[in-house]
Amino acid sequence: MTNANPPSSPRDVPLDKPRDSSNESPEELSGILLDEQNLLTIAEISRVCAVQTEYIVELVDEGLIAPEKLPETSIGDDEPHAWRFTGTHMRHARIAAHLQSDLGVNAAGVALALQLLDEVEALRAQLEAMETMGGR
């Protein structure tokens, strides 16, 4: 029997339920290293973040993530199929989903948290660069 009500959280799979692995064989893991050059489609970022594509569209509409646009395409820039997402976008989408679904943080709170996390990351990179230069 299927539930006709859509999920109340952005996640389309329950991640908090433990899996019964007693009857499972070992799984093979594979993946790609994401950086700013490897771009994901909206379907790929949704799958990786375990959220519905509509949730990614909401994040873009709220200005929480700003996707790249496909160059020279007949698809309009505002069409989700023309959007491409970086590893940073993926990280932001995962954090946003966690903050909203697990902690009940609103969009403004998510935006602030993402901004502060980016600033901390930039400061850490600066500190590491200074330590590297001072260590010569």
Place 86 in a pLDDT band, splitting at 50, 70 and 90.
very high
Q: What is each CA distance from 17 to 25, 52, 97, 101, in whole angstroms?
A: 19, 18, 17, 14
**What is residue 79's predicted lDDT score, i.e. its pLDDT?**
83
Task: Break the chain into its structural domains and give their ranges.
Answer: 42-134
The C-alpha atoms of residue 101 and residue 31 are separated, in whole angstroms, by 25
3-class DSSP assignment, residue 94:
helix
Mean pLDDT of the region 7-13 = 45
Return the structure tokens found at 12. 């389309």
pLDDT tens, position by position, 44-62: 999 999 999 999 999 999 9
Residues 104-131 as b or e (16 or more Cβ within 10 Å = b) = ebebeebbebbeeeeeeeeeeeeeeeee
**What is residue 74's predicted lDDT score, i.e. its pLDDT?**
55
Fold of 42-134: Multidrug-efflux Transporter Regulator; Chain: A; Domain 2 (1.10.1660)
